[in-house]
Structure 1
């Protein structure tokens, strides 16, 4: 299956698109899994509509007339490529990280089993500041805040310090901090920080 055929299948059969697993590299195909370098995404044929619906209504449905008269590669480059990489994939990456943590928790692979998972946001009108943290878990020791970064550059010590400072400003009882990074890390290991890479997500799925 080549790149052009993959484009054609996606644009012709939106029910083949799954918006949950995104990776920036090739992996070996699994059963019923079609793998191609389509914006770094895994493409899986599904029998249900729930997971591909955001993709379809964001990129296919609004431009259905243009899709009928344009070559798949041109259509992709004009209406999908940029937003897909900057907006769609990062949002789904956060969802993937959350699902990874839930799966690890259910299988008893985490040092502390959490009893709640969600997001955390705050609004501080006095200083005109608001923030949202991607994933927060609670266990017997307190809270762990996780940030998912689907960036092209590694996470650095300075970035980690900035995130930790923002968490501390909320006053939450957070005893550890976690990060998911598409591009890896350039950091000094520390006991209060958990670091996950794309390889971790794949190897433990």
Structure 2
């Protein structure tokens, strides 16, 4: 089950943060981007802009969303300025009867996002961050004071946590690990931040 709320909107590409679309409908989305690029290519003077838009057009003509392109930071900035819809994380599905959790996972994968968790006595909280996020940035996601006074992060995988049933039991079984501020937090990890402010 997904720990976040996802709203599925039918064909509202403009306001969507990410797009899940059936393979037989993907051209409806890509044509909108092709029209934008064709219109801009006629007026573009900048050779860099023309090259990036040409790269996008080639991708779209192969019936692939622009988000599948490997672009450097400057190219991404050019593409971002045009508001291409398929530049948003776009997952194309052959099977349209998939479970919502499968769709959400695929979108998160396309977007390069992941969850980490914190555990209290009464609740478990899921935190959404980019993959490759370090421990101190995760601490800051929870609260700015945790990042400011960061000492160490104690982590345990969700699978180990489910086996141990509590952070204290996981510690006693040697399933936890202490890490420094620059440690990259893996997906599906339970964190406890040690800090001093």
User: What range is the shorter-chain TM-score in?
Assistant: under 0.3
Larger of the two Rg values belongs to structure: 2
TM-score by structure 2 length? 0.28
Instruction: Between the two structures, name the one with larger relative contact order (CA 8 Å, sep ≥ 6).
Output: 2
TM-score by structure 1 length? 0.27
**Higher strand proportion, which one?**
1
